Structure 1
Amino acid sequence: MATIGIPGLILILIIALVIFGPKKLPEIGKAAGQTLREFKKSTKDLTEDVTDEINDAKNIVKGQENK
């Protein structure tokens, strides 16, 4: 997948500015930031849950091996 680069980002910003207008653009940016933040938080929570389950399973197996 190719990278966008600075000229591509400028073009996207100009197109977004034309489509949404200068008043809506900050609101859209804020909503996108909140969505990304929530996605990252959910991903982190899910990863921690899976890691905890794996560690619990390892501890159970170690406990059975020591008997």
Structure 2
Amino acid sequence: MASDTRRLPLKNDPCCAAMRTLQSHGEGMMQCVIDRLTHAESGQYNATVMIYLKRYCTQCSSFALPSAEVMV
């Protein structure tokens, strides 16, 4: 039996980077993509998960990533 569990990508993952690029064109871009899904695509992709992913990838982290460390 296949598991339907999903893992969130890291904030520096290409998936999140693509989401931030999409959203940089306007706040409602992910909803626009969802609205354009065909019936078959709507069965394959969960709109609720897509909206959550948008929020997850575009929210600011409360911690600095190691690559963002400042040398003093």
The structure with the larger Rg is: 1
Q: Which structure has the highest helix share of the two?
A: 1
Name the structure, 1 or 2, with higher relative contact order (CA <8 Å, separation 6+).
Answer: 2
Query: How does the TM-score come out when normalised to structure 1?
Result: 0.33
- TM-score normalized by structure 2? 0.31
